[in-house]
Amino acid sequence: MNPIVTAFMHDPTGSLTYVVQEPDGPRCAVVDPVLDYDDGASRTSTASIDPVIACIRKRGLTVDWILETHAHADRLSAAQDVKAQCGGQIGIGEHIVEVQQIWKGILNLGNAFRADGSEFDHLFKEGEHFRIGALEGNVLYTPGHTQADVTYLIGDSAFIGDTVFMTDYGSARADFPGGDAHILYRSIQKLYALPPETRLFLCHDYLTEKRQQHRWESTVSEQRVLNIQINAATSEETYVQFRQARDKQLATPKLLFPSVEINMRAGQFPPPESNGRSYLKIPITRA
């Protein structure tokens, strides 16, 4: 059985949110919901997740799962908003604990932040099965971009997080703390070993000079032949050399620190301080 997939493009960050629905019933999952964030004002908005929630309500769907492919480094998660309004369990790969441990150190969060994954309702293991009504899901551990990335394979559709992008754009960066180009290569090989007709739903689309319309769906067979950075014939050594050189040229995402601090808490704000307000931490590096 295969899902009905509805994509929502978040233009400010080139991110995708998906509603993944059983074909003959009311159960669904929401993959990678996005919360808008104005960093100048440090104010969130639900402008982009509201249409997703409206779609769920209009179709009379019940949310079983809110699935995070990883702790995103470029935009905030709206998992808490989806959960508050529609219910559902928030799930992420179990290796989020390692991401939390790294960032607990970087942000000097102290013992109040336990770094045990407890902010999430469920931590998925490699190979774990789950259900969305009559749909069957399976979890593939696909790290490299971060230590915690997972792919959710639901029927014929794989939600692949930051691994490959559209074939004309290439693949995800592997230079964040805990990222590793070798490991990303092996994760992409795992995706390329899926049946060739498997539908791959991307986490991002950034457009190219030649293509000015967003696309977010590809297949294993297309990627194996056409991906400009890593096709089925690309060796690990070639890919890693390319990836590491490219990553050195990439700027740090503008919302890196706010995103990771919120997203590794399953979209919750840090605990309020004595005046009742939450604060984000941003380390400063002196030149």
CB 233 within 8 A of CB 224: no
CB 128 within 8 A of CB 150: no
CB-based contacts of 93, cutoff 8 Å, min separation 6: 70, 123, 124, 139, 141, 143, 148, 149, 150
Does residue 162 belong to the site contacting Fe ion (CB under 5 A)? yes
CB 227 within 8 A of CB 221: no
Q: Closest separation between CB of residue 170 and Fe ion, Å?
A: 14
Q: How many residues bind Fe ion (CB under 5 A)?
A: 2
Does residue 261 belong to the site contacting Fe ion (CB under 5 A)? no
Q: Closest separation between CB of residue 284 and Fe ion, Å?
A: 23
- Cβ-based nearer residue to Fe ion, 177 or 196: 177
Does residue 68 belong to the site contacting Fe ion (CB under 5 A)? no
* Helix (H/G/I), strand (E/B), else coil: 258: helix
Which H or E element spans position 222?
A: helix 220-226
* CA pair distance 216, 247, nearest whole angstrom: 22
CB 204 within 8 A of CB 165: yes
Q: Closest separation between CB of residue 166 and Fe ion, Å?
A: 15
Radius of gyration (Cα) for the chain, nearest Å? 18
Contact segment (CB under 5 A) with Fe ion among 29-37, 51-59, 160-168, 224-232 equals 160-168
* Residues facing 38 on adjacent strands: 43
Q: Closest separation between CB of residue 206 and Fe ion, Å?
A: 12
Q: Closest separation between CB of residue 256 and Fe ion, Å?
A: 10
- Cβ-based nearer residue to Fe ion, 66 or 135: 66
Residue nearest to Fe ion (CB): 162
Contact segment (CB under 5 A) with Fe ion among 66-74, 116-124, 128-136, 247-255 equals 66-74
- Cβ-based nearer residue to Fe ion, 72 or 95: 72
Give the footprint of Fe ion on this chain (CB under 5 A). Answer: 72, 162
